[in-house]
Amino acid sequence: MASPPHPNLELRPLGNTGLKLSCVGFGASPLGSVFGPVSEHDAISSVREAFHLGINFFDTSPYYGGTLSEKMLGKGLKALGVPRNEYIVSTKCGRYLEGFDFSAERVTKSIDESLARLQLDYVDILQCHDIEFGSLDQIVNETIPALQKLKEAGKIRFIGITGLPLSVFTYVLDRVPPGTVDVILSYCRYSINDSTLADLLPYLKSKGVGVISASPLAMGLLTENGPPEWHPASAELKSTCQAAAAFCKAKGKNISKLAMQYSLANKDISSVLVGMNSVRQVKENVYAATELATFGKDQETLSEVEAILSPVKNQTWPSGIQES
């Protein structure tokens, strides 16, 4: 029997969906061994720990680990043994190990495959995955209408879009009827080294669209261990982030906690989606949120780290070469 959710992990409304997401969301791409091998035991334990500490939001994609992440997450959720309405699941469509395909036919087939791997009857959110790689007009005219049919069929509850360039969100949202796209997922755009999502938040609010901000650790840049081999950042950005991590460590601080708290402090972001593959990381990231709620930000260290990162502030990378 599951213990009750942690009372201190804040729930935040997601746009007009009526959903309330835990402010820390569980990014399941690491369960696809995207950041190094993860055992089934560790994957299931991480999901269990997350749920028990109050995380109710889990995000995956058929692309992560070539479907492995969805399968692992499905096993973890099933092992919880709790009613389906106690957790919120998002997965994606249109991006696969074999390439991109945002056609109505492929995304309609894709949801059935995802539901089977996740061992679920429906997902709460289905997102078009990294739409900058497709034709945005196809997303507007073909993919989203196909997702609306999946909504009517009860296979998904809400529709989302994800991508790295922020311009893709305005392009699509300006061309679909209001209320058609419920959620956007942006990544690597609201962390200490890049906060460009902030400028878009008033627009998204005006559209009633829920905001999920992923990769608060900039896909590993803001960790003591550094990013994985495939990370697309420039050598300058990587070395500057490592210098910031070393600075924090020498001061007895942890850059990942600082980065989590930086993202969590903005309440216009419904959930900060962080990738986790161990019970230890789950505990650390939930603790970062509860500590922030109790004591506020470590402004002194944050200012010092911002100064170190200022030469690379908002420096991004071409979206053609990332692993998201």
Residues involved in catalysis: 64
Q: Which of residues 33-62 bind ligand NAD (CB under 6 A)?
A: 35, 59
d(CA 291, CA 38): 28
**Residue 67 contacts ligand NAD per CB under 6 A:** no
Contact at 8 Å (CB) between 110 and 93?
yes
Q: How far from chain centre, in Å, is Cα 199?
A: 19
**Residue 68 contacts ligand NAD per CB under 6 A:** no
Q: How far is the CB of 220 from ligand NAD (least distance, A)?
A: 5
Q: How far is the CB of 283 from ligand NAD (least distance, A)?
A: 9
**Residue 237 contacts ligand NAD per CB under 6 A:** no
Tokens 């995207």 belong to 34
Q: Which of residues 165-194 bind ligand NAD (CB under 6 A)?
A: 185, 187
- In the set 183, 269, 273, 305, which binds ligand NAD (CB under 6 A)? 273
Q: How far is the CB of 27 from ligand NAD (least distance, A)?
A: 2
Per-residue binding letters, 238-267, with ligand NAD (x by CB under 6 A): ------------------x-----------
d(CA 186, CA 163): 6
d(CA 90, CA 103): 20
Q: How far apart are the first and last CA of the chain?
A: 34
Q: How far is the CB of 256 from ligand NAD (least distance, A)?
A: 4
Torsion of CA 242, 243, 245, 249, to 10 degrees: 130
Please tell me whether residue 275 adopts helix, strand or coil conformation.
Answer: strand
The window from 99-107, 219-227, 240-248, 299-307 that contacts ligand NAD (CB under 6 A) reads 219-227
- In the set 240, 270, 281, 301, which binds ligand NAD (CB under 6 A)? 281
**Residue 217 contacts ligand NAD per CB under 6 A:** yes
d(CA 1, CA 195): 41
Residue with the shortest CB distance to ligand NAD = 275
Q: Which of residues 80-139 bind ligand NAD (CB under 6 A)?
A: 129-130
Instruction: Tell me whether residue 39 or residue 177 sits nearer to ligand NAD (CB atom).
Output: 39
3-class secondary structure per residue, 76-143: HHHHHCCCHHHCEEEEEECEECCEECCCHHHHHHHHHHHHHHHCCCCEEEEEECCHHHCCHHHHHHHH
Half-sphere exposure at residue 59, Cβ-oriented, CA atoms within 13 angstroms: 33
**Residue 291 contacts ligand NAD per CB under 6 A:** no
d(CA 206, CA 204): 5
- In the set 21, 28, 120, 168, which binds ligand NAD (CB under 6 A)? 28
Residues of the shown chain interacting with ligand NAD in the complex, contacts defined by CB under 6 A: 27-30, 35, 59, 129-130, 162, 185, 187, 214-220, 223, 256, 273-277, 281, 284-285, 324
